[in-house]
Amino acid sequence: MVNESHGFSIRPVIHYPSGVQAGKTYLMTIDLLPEESFKWHSEEEEHPIYCQVDSDVFNTNPVDETVVVLHRFGGSYGEIGILVTAPLQGIEGQLSVTLINRWGVPIKRIFLGTIPIYSGLVDSPIETEIHVTTSQVKPQNIESRDEVDELVEKIRTKISSDIYERCGTMRVLDMVQPIGINDIYIRVNILEKLSGSRQIDLNELPDISNQENFDRLPLGQNEIERVSGLEAVERYDKLMILSKPGAGKTMFMKKLAILCSRREFQNHRVPVFITLKEFSEAEEQPRLQDFIAKQWKVFCGVEDTKSLEVLLRKGHVLVLLDGLDEVQANHHNHVVHEIKVFTQTFRTCQFVITCRIAARKYTFEHFAEVEIADFSQEQIAEFSMKWFSTYQSPEKGHLFIKFLKKNPPVQELATNPIILTLLCLVFGESGDFPANRSELYSESLSILLKKWDAKRMIERGQVYKHLSLKRKEDLLGLLAFQTFERGDYFFNQNVAEQLIFDYIRQLPEAKDDQETLQLNSEAVLKSIEAQHGLLVERARRIYSFSHRTFQEYFVARRIVTCSTKQIHTELSNLVSRITQKRYREIFLLTVELLPDADELLLLMKKQIDSLISNSASLQALLSWVCKKAENTDTNGQYKPSVIRAFYLALSNMTFKDLINKLAPSLSVSLDSNALTSSPDYGDSSLSLNQGSNFEDTNNLKLDLELTQILAHASSHELARIELAHFSSLNEELQQELQTLNSQLPHSNEQNIQEWWDLSGNDWIKSLRSVMIYYRNIGHDWEFTADEIEQLHNYQNANMLLIDCLNCDCYVTRSTRQKLKETLLLPVAEIENPPVD
C-alpha cells in the first residue's frame, strides 16, 4: 500500500529527436529517476507507472510494455522504448507523454513541444526533465464493489431519460414524424472479417456476365460467417463497427444505449452515447471526459464529476462513439487523439466506435474491426412488417413484401436499410411503387449522393469538390458503361482509377501534371466509396457497384444523356445485344428514361425479326402461324398477334410465357402444369382450363387438346380424346378421332407397353396425319439445335419488346400499333401485315 500521508518525488527523463526526417523512424526512451528528497513510503516493494505517448501526426509504437517500475531502493528497473515514425509529408508535429498510475488515474501530461519535419536531417536527441510529486501517484478513495454498483444504479436512473430522448427515436428522409427505435429495430448481423480486406484474385469471384438467373442479393458477403451485433459487442471490449452509408450503424448504437439503460445488456455498466460530430464541434475542443461530464451535468443533473471518473476508472461505462466519418477534416486529428487517450486511460471500460468502412483514416491499435452485413431477405421482410405494423397497416406490409419478391432489382436495393426505408415511405403513401422504376432508382441515388448527409447537416471533405452532382453522375455512368459492356461486375482498382483519370483530365480545371491526376483519380475513387457507398471494395483492390441495379441504371442513363449525334449509334449498339439476358434491365430503363422511345422500339423490332430471317424452316413456321391465326375465329375475343403466339406455343411450349404477356385474360385459362413435359415440346406444357368459358375459343381448345394428346403419346403415355368437349366437331374429324380412340388399349390391360412397342408409332403417325389434314396442326418441324436456339432467342426478345411497350414509356400511338400488328410475322408479311 502507499502511505496516504506521504509521497515520493520522481523525475521523468525523456529522450526524443529535436527534428526528424520525413518517413524515418526514431527511438524515444522514457525513464523515471528519484529526486534527491526521494523517500519510499509504501509497504510494497515496487510501484508501476504507465507511460502513454500521443501525437497529432507521428505514428508511435512501443518496443515492449509501456510501464516503468519503480523500486524501493530509489530508481527503476530500466527505461522503456517507443518507436516514433514521421509522416511522409508535413511541416511539424507534437509529442506528449501521459503518466498513469496503477489504478488508471492520469498523474501528469507532459508536452514535448513542436518537432520540425525535414526532407533530410541528422538525429539530434535532447533531454527533458520534468518534476512530478507523489500526491498524483497515489490512489484515492478506492470504492468497494457494493459502492460502485450502487453508483451505477444511481447514475443510470439519472441519465435514462436523456438516453431515451436522444436514442429512442429516429427520423430520416421525408418522414413527417419520428418513429420509435424499438418499433422497427431488427437484429443486426456482423461480418467479423471485412469483405474488402480479403486477398482474393479477380478470377476467383463469380462470373455473372452470362448467368441467366443471377442472384441479385449482396455479392461478396454470402460466404463470410455472420454473428449478431450484440454477440460481437460482448466478444470484443474495444470494437470498431464499419459499414457502407445507410447500413444502420447509428440505429444499432442507439439500440445498445437503450438496452444498457434498461439493464438488458451489460447491466453492470451505464451507457454513454456520443455523436462524434457534435463532440468535434464543441467549443474549445474539450477532452472527451470533460465533454461527457458536461453532458451529464446539463442534461441529466449529475453535478458531481467525480462519479464519472469513478465509473470510468472501474470500467463500468459502455462508451458508444458514433460517426467518426462525420467529423470534419480540420477536427479529425483532435478527435482521434482524444479517443486514443481516453480508451487507453480507461481501458477496462467497453468501447464501440462506428465509421463508414471506406472513410476510416486511422486504425486504433487495440480495437477489433468488424463490418455490418447487408440485410438478408428475412431481415427485409421483418423490417417491412414492423414498419407497416407501426403505422397500423400490416396488410400493406404483406403486399410490399410480395412486390419486392416479384421485382428482384428493387429487392436488391432493399438490402440497404436507408433505401429500404425510402421504399417503405414511397409504398406507404399509395400502396404501390411508381410505374416508372427509373424514378425510384433516381430517388435512391439522390439519397446516397446528397440527401442523406444534407438531412443531418453533415459536410464531408470534398476531395473531388470540383465535380458537380451532374459530373459525379456522368462519371459513374462512364464507370458503369465501360465495365458493364465488358461483362465486368467486378473490376480491379487500377481499371476504375484509369477510367476516372481519363474523365477528370478532360475537365477545364484539371491539372496537367500526370502524377497529380493519378493521385486525384485514386482520391475520387475513395471518396465515391466513402461518401456515397456507390462503389464497394469487395476484396482487396477489387471493386464493384454496391448494387447491380445502380450499375444498370447508370448504363441506361449514359445512353440516354449522350449527344444528339451519338444517340442513334448508342441505341443501335444496345439493340445488337438484345439476346443477352444481362441487358434486359438496361433496355427497360433506357425505354423509361428516353423522352421518346419510338426509335429504340423500332430498332428492337427490326433486330428481333432479323434473328430468324435467314432460316427457311423458322420462316415457314411463322408463315404457318400467320395462316392459322387468319383462319381461326375467336369472335374477336383475341387479336391475331395473340393467336399467333398461341400457335407458336403449340409448336414450342416456351412461347406460353409470351401468351401471358400478350393476353392476361387468356393466360388465366392456361395451366402450365396440366400437360407433362415432352422432348418434342420443350420443357413446359400448356392446357386450357375446363372451368373457364371457352365458347368463343373452341378452336383453340380443340387444337390444344389434340396437341396435348400427341405430346402424351410421344412419351408413351395413355390419353384418350374427350370428344364430348367438342359438340360442334366436323363429322369426318369426329369419326377419325373415334377410330383412333378405339385403337387404344384399356388402361387396366397388362400388355400396354407391348402395345406401345408394336403399334404405338403407327398410332402416333395416324394421329399426326389426322391433325395435319383436318386442323393443320401437329407438324413435325424437325428443327436443328441451332434453329431451336434461334427460336428461343426470338421468343425472349419478343417478350422483352412487349415488356418495354408495357412499361412507363412514351411511345407514339402509330408506333405502338405498328409493333403490335407486325408481332410474330414472317419477314415476307412485315411490309403488308394483317390488321389486328
Distance separating alpha carbons of residues 404 and 413, to the nearest angstrom: 10
Does residue 734 have a pLDDT over 90? no
Does residue 412 have a pLDDT over 60? yes
Q: Grade residue 257 by pLDDT with cuts at 50, 70 and 90.
A: very high
Q: Grade residue 214 by pLDDT with cuts at 50, 70 and 90.
A: very low
Helix (H) or strand (E) holding 133: none
Does residue 133 have a pLDDT over 60? no
- DSSP assignment letter at 2: B
Q: Once rounded to an integer, what is the mean pLDDT over residues 105-119?
A: 81
Q: How far apart are the first and last CA of the chain?
A: 102
Q: What b-and-e string marks burial along 8-46, b requiring 16 or more CB atoms within 10 Å of the CB?
A: bbbebbbbbbebbbeeeebebbbbbbbeeebebebeeee
Are 804 and 597 contacting, i.e. CB atoms less than 8 angstroms apart? Answer: yes
Q: Which residue has the higher pLDDT, 670 or 364?
A: 364
Q: What b-and-e string marks burial along 171-189, b requiring 16 or more CB atoms within 10 Å of the CB?
A: ebbeeeeebebeebbbebb
DSSP strands (E only) in 597-727: none
Judge residue 605's burial from the number of C-beta atoms within 10 Å of its C-beta, 0-12 exposed, 13-18 middle, 19 or more buried.
buried
Residue 16 pairs with which residues in a beta bridge? 126
Chain centre distance of CA 798 = 32
Q: What ranges in 359-431 are assigned the alpha helix state H?
A: 377-390, 394-406, 408-413, 417-430
Q: Which of 143-152, 182-191, 341-350 has the lowest mean pLDDT?
A: 143-152
Helix (H) or strand (E) holding 107: strand 106-118
Q: Once rounded to an integer, what is the mean pLDDT over residues 761-776?
A: 92
Q: Which of 135-144, 222-231, 523-532, 803-812 has the lowest mean pLDDT?
A: 135-144
Distance separating alpha carbons of residues 660 and 502, to the nearest angstrom: 47
What does the longest C-alpha to C-alpha distance in the chain come to?
Answer: 130
Q: Which residue has the higher pLDDT, 684 or 732?
A: 732
Distance separating alpha carbons of residues 14 and 82, to the nearest angstrom: 11
Chain segment 722-733, per-residue pLDDT in tens: 666 565 677 888
Q: How many helical (H) and strand (E) elements, i.e. helices and strands, does the chain have? A: 32, 23
Q: What ranges in 771-812 are assigned the alpha helix state H?
A: 785-806
Judge residue 588's burial from the number of C-beta atoms within 10 Å of its C-beta, 0-12 exposed, 13-18 middle, 19 or more buried.
buried
Distance separating alpha carbons of residues 380 and 180, to the nearest angstrom: 18
pLDDT at residue number 524: 86
Chain segment 60-75, per-residue pLDDT in tens: 888 878 888 888 777 7
Q: Which residue has the higher pLDDT, 353 or 406?
A: 353
Q: Which of 457-471, 551-565, 634-648 has the lowest mean pLDDT?
A: 457-471
720 by DSSP, 3-state: which?
coil
Q: Once rounded to an integer, what is the mean pLDDT over residues 618-647?
A: 87
414 by DSSP, 3-state: which?
coil
Q: Grade residue 747 by pLDDT with cuts at 50, 70 and 90.
A: low
Residue 67 pairs with which residues in a beta bridge? 50
Mean pLDDT value across the chain: 82
Residues whose CB is less than 8 angstroms from the CB of residue 241 and which lie 6 or more positions away in sequence, other chains included: 190, 229, 232, 249, 252, 253, 352, 353, 354, 355, 370, 371, 372
Look up the pTM and report it: 0.71
Q: Which of 228-232, 335-339, 666-670, 807-811 has the lowest mean pLDDT?
A: 666-670
Closest CA relative to residue 280, chosen from 339, 228, 332, 346: 332
- DSSP assignment letter at 327: S
Task: Please give the share of the chain, as a percent, with pLDDT higher than 90.
Answer: 38
Chain segment 492-514, per-residue pLDDT in tens: 999 999 999 888 888 877 777 77
Q: Which of 140-144, 255-259, 547-551, 824-828 has the lowest mean pLDDT?
A: 140-144
pLDDT at residue number 329: 82
pLDDT at residue number 687: 34
pLDDT at residue number 129: 47
Residue 33 backbone zone (phi > 0: left; psi -120 to 50: alpha; other: beta): beta
Closest CA relative to residue 19, chosen from 127, 93, 116, 94: 116
- DSSP assignment letter at 296: I
pLDDT at residue number 669: 42
- Of the ranges 134-143, 155-164, 297-306, 509-518, which is most confident? 155-164
Distance separating alpha carbons of residues 793 and 618, to the nearest angstrom: 12
Residues whose CB is less than 8 angstroms from the CB of residue 264 and which lie 6 or more positions away in sequence, other chains included: none
pLDDT at residue number 218: 47
Task: Please give the share of the chain, as a percent, with pLDDT higher than 70.
Answer: 81
Distance separating alpha carbons of residues 387 and 397, to the nearest angstrom: 8
pLDDT at residue number 92: 82
